[in-house]
Amino acid sequence: KNEVEQSPQNLTAQEGEFITINCSYSVGISALHWLQQHPGGGIVSLFMLSSGKKKHGRLIATINIQEKHSSLHITASHPRDSAVYICAAGRRNTGNQFYFGTGTSLTVIP
Amino acid sequence: GAGVSQSPSNKVTEKGKDVELRCDPISGHTALYWYRQSLGQGLEFLIYFQGNSAPDKSGLPSDRFSAERTGGSVSTLTIQRTQQEDSAVYLCASSAGQKGQPQHFGDGTRLSIL
């Protein structure tokens, strides 16, 4: 059983659509991270959150600690948002060890 | 440079050879991580360094894998007697060190074992 589960695994959307990617985790966490990996491999950290909600441009990340669930939302999606989005749980009390979801591959069609 | 630098970017070697992968973290970052991403798989934690503390090696898949971090900066991941299943992208990341700080990733080393 994976400590971090993401859904959906693959997602295709039309440009302009509102997108939601979900992440559930089973371990106690110090923080939850959302990462973006573009074709070619470069990984960028989008958000780090331990409670509530964060917003950066068209991206919004929320977390519900009681339900052990986080969502990443993309408003007004654009083809350049096409990437793999990875949820990572920073495990509490084990240094900075992270458990990763297998990623959601997003394709936004013009 | 401003980011995490990894070298080489690509490495092709024969089964049974040893390889060394290098990571230059962001200056001042005390935490350094190595991850592996096999084809079609998610990221897998390998090892974590924090300052002068003993590293967390709990993710290393076998005793053929080892890593060092000299002077609290540059790190080298060594794989001895490589096997085909070692083929993957090896990613290094660094962070400022406090728990939960965002990690900054290098572009990775793509390792192919023939």
Contact by Cβ (8 Å): A90, A72: no
Smallest CA-to-CA distance from A87 within A40, A36, A53, A52 is with A36
Instruction: Quick: pLDDT tens for A14-61.
Output: 999 999 999 999 988 878 999 999 887 688 989 988 899 999 999 999
Instruction: Quick: pLDDT tens for B65-96.
Output: 999 998 879 999 999 999 999 999 999 999 88
What is residue A3's three-state secondary structure?
Answer: coil
Which residue in B103, B107, B109 has the most chain A C-beta atoms within 10 A of its own C-beta, making it the best mutation to test that interface? B103
C-alpha–C-alpha distance, residues B112 and B114, integer Å: 6
Contact by Cβ (8 Å): A89, A3: yes
Smallest CA-to-CA distance from A45 within A78, A85, A75, A9 is with A85
DSSP, residue by residue, chain B: --S-EEE-SEEEE-TT--EEEEEEPPTT--EEEEEEE-TT--EEEEEEEETTSPPB-TT--STTEEEEEGGGS-EEEEE-S--GGG-EEEEEEEE-SSTTPPPEE---EEEEE-
Smallest CA-to-CA distance from B83 within B42, B46, B111, B107 is with B111
Residues of B in contact with A41 (CB under 8 A): 89, 91, 107-108, 110
DSSP, residue by residue, A16-43: T--EEEEEEE-S-EEEEEEEEE-TTS-E
Smallest CA-to-CA distance from B23 within B112, B103, B114, B113 is with B103
Instruction: Quick: pLDDT tens for A50-98.
Output: 899 999 999 999 999 999 999 999 999 999 999 999 999 887 766 567 7
Is A45 near chain B, with CB under 8 Å? yes
Output the six-digit token pair for B64.
């053929």
Out of A50, A97, A101, closest to residue B45 by CB: A97
What pLDDT does B42 receive? Answer: 81
